[in-house]
Amino acid sequence: MKRFMLSLSLLCAIASNAQLAGDTNLVAENEPGRSARSSRGGSTAMELKTLTEAELLQAISQSNAETKIAISEELVERKSGKVYELFTKLLTEDDVAERKIGVISYQTNAASELYVAVAHQKEKADRKKYYEKTTTKGLQKELKGMFGRDYDTKWTQAETDACLAKLTAIALADNNVAPLTLNTIFYTSNFKNKNYSRVKFFAQKYPTAEILATLANFRNPSDIQYLTKHAQASYLSYSVYPHAAFYPTLQMNVDKDFENKDFQNAITAYKNLDSKVLLDKVCKNICSNNAVKVNRDDKLFQLYSIIEKRNCRLYDPILKHIDKLLQ
């Protein structure tokens, strides 16, 4: 039974990698799952495994976006010394691929998926280290046999951290890096970075939700006006930096954006009586604008989940009210 449960937990962990942050992904709704792990094309991946590193690097220049992604992931899996060189080459390319996480489609590019592939190696290294501490070598061998590359990795945690830091520095140093790649980098790093001047540069060039949220994480009062200017893209920023100056924007847009995940999360970040009142308004708007109970309940459950994650006792009455509505 223990062996079965360990295998099952690993399988669940592998499946959950499809959502790096799972249902905490509150990035703009029109671009879901951007930095999530996606299953690569099976036949393409199998073919690439037989090629040498030199052959892969040679093939990438004549490949379409999807194949470039598969090659990038393969080289990361092999822990190739050419990862940095390839990432630098891909940074300015604008080839976009359509990928799927379950039923959700999203756009991505090879540089983004290379970065995410390295982050995925860290997850695998963490998981492998855990199983090495808690299970027998025999069971570890069985798990590796069952799950193959989804269990094992050639990378250590320290190596992935160093690689991600270097890839981030390479991207920030290039003025022409694709915004899609920056979005992925900042989302994967939980909107944290130490290079304020470069983040500010890109926030002014590409005011996307992820880049603005990373800028907001510096909590520089001089950025408040700019973040207010790009309100809808900045809802994610407001949840990172819940400054009083942003609150009027949330109040003004409550009848328009009440179903937006980033909007709801931004309100919950304030954790005060005013935000409680605004969340009540969001709840009422959901109920009055969704006559079909199934649709209403889905949206109420989304709101409930977002509020619950804040773990704020002030919001308990709202959670109890939603709980009754869902019965």
The confidence score (pLDDT) of residue 45 equals 66
Positions of the chain with pLDDT under 50 = 1-8, 10-37, 39-40
State the DSSP H helix or E strand holding residue 107, giving kind and residue range, or none if neither.
Answer: strand 104-108
Q: How far apart are CA 131 and CA 143, in angstroms?
A: 9
Residue 215 lies in a domain: no
Residue 22 and residue 167 in one domain: yes
Verify that 166 and 249 share a domain, yes or no.
no
Q: Which residues are CB-neighbours of 80 under 8 A, at least 6 positions away?
A: 53, 86
Domain extent at residue 50: 2-172
- A 10 A CB-CB count for 20 gives 22
pTM: 0.82
Tens-digit pLDDT profile for residues 208-260: 999 999 999 999 999 999 999 998 889 999 999 999 999 999 999 999 999 99
Provide the number of structural domains found in the chain.
2
Of the residues 172, 205, 229, which one is the last residue of a structural domain?
Answer: 172
Q: Does residue 52 belong to any structural domain of this protein? A: yes
pLDDT, residue 38, reads 52
Q: Judge if 135 and 36 occupy the same domain.
A: yes
Same domain? For 132 and 38 the reply is yes
Q: Kindly state whether residue 145 falls inside one of the protein's structural domains.
A: yes
Whether 313 is covered by a domain: the verdict is yes
In a domain, 210, yes or no: no
